[in-house]
Amino acid sequence: MSDINIRITGRAGRITLQRPQALNAMTYDMCMAIEAAFDAWRHDDAVALIVIDAEGDRAFCSGGDIAELYATGRAGDFAYGQTFWADEYRLNHKIFTYPKPVVSFLQGFTMGGGVGIGCHGSHRIVGQSSQIAMPECGIGLVPDVGGTLMLALAPGRLGEYLGTTATRMNADDAIYAGFADTYIPELKWSGVIKALEESGVTDSIEAASGAAPKGELRALRAEIDAHFAGETLSDILTLLNAENSAFAIDALKKLSRVSPLSAACTVEMMHRLRGPSLNMEKALDLEYRFTYRAMEHGDFLEGIRAAIIDKDRTPEWQYPDMQVPLAAVSKMLQPLGKNALKL
């Protein structure tokens, strides 16, 4: 498959995304090929670890390729999307629970589906160009691909803030929020990968690591915790509207661009997931409840139309006043019964 190069080099199973012209957006076929490789290498003694990288300097993976999702959904076929998300989430879970080291190199944009394949392994490398985000609320989805696990585990109320505003994280921010582990200057990446391939151990990662350029999240933490502590999206909006600070104005501007239903569900998901029972299975199950319904009952098709198809950037969301009824949130997140996600 020309979109992806899967091979064994030395002691390493190697996966390279090869769609730089499309910011390495992941197609369904690419997702299935990655899963097949992980399955094949799980018990292969020749493969000591897996290295995932991507061609081009603009993006590791900007997300999932959603053109086909939109086309089928507009035609009233919701099953394709439901299958796509279920299979993608199964891969995310396999990466998260994989028994061998999984090393990813996350240059440029790593968003949405890119987070799902790049941010669940054991060694997540970022560099000076890294921009990591969960922008799903902007297209009528919720943070998914296991992203809600990291958001719920992030310090303070970063989960609500990053999940609803789609704020981009640089390398330092991503490490602070739990989306990455190690900063290595990108000029060193090829040497580190070569060492991984030759040795089959991860010692070269720590040896090449350095201090990341300072991000913004640490300094904003107190304001984020104060303004995003509400039980609901409505509570958060009340807290933000009560203050005329630069942070509140910026946060309100970002929230004005996203689906109110998606943002309200994201806040509820954070509250449901936090606590001692949090695990990847619980996070993926809750995400799938929303995405399973996203085309028929959510804002997904309208979000894609406005952002990708017509590019008018003026989506007609449900609940444009941003006052989302609790019943609407409950409807999107209620259990799926026999249609529940199976890992």
The string of pLDDT tens digits covering residues 189-234 is 999 999 999 999 999 999 999 999 999 999 999 999 999 999 999 9
**Domains (ranges, CATH) in the chain?**
1-343 (3.90.226.10)
What span, in angstroms and rounded, lies between the C-alpha atoms of 230 and 8?
A: 49
What span, in angstroms and rounded, lies between the C-alpha atoms of 5 and 279?
A: 31
The model's pTM is 0.97
On the CB side of 296, how many CA atoms lie within 13 Å of its CA?
13
Which residues of the chain have a pLDDT value below 50? Answer: none
What pairs with residue 54 in β-bridges? Answer: 17
11: which 2 tokens?
């002691």
Task: Assess contact for 91 and 117: CB atoms under 8 A.
Answer: yes
- pLDDT, residue 2, reads 87
- pLDDT, residue 1, reads 59
Task: Assess contact for 35 and 73: CB atoms under 8 A.
Answer: no
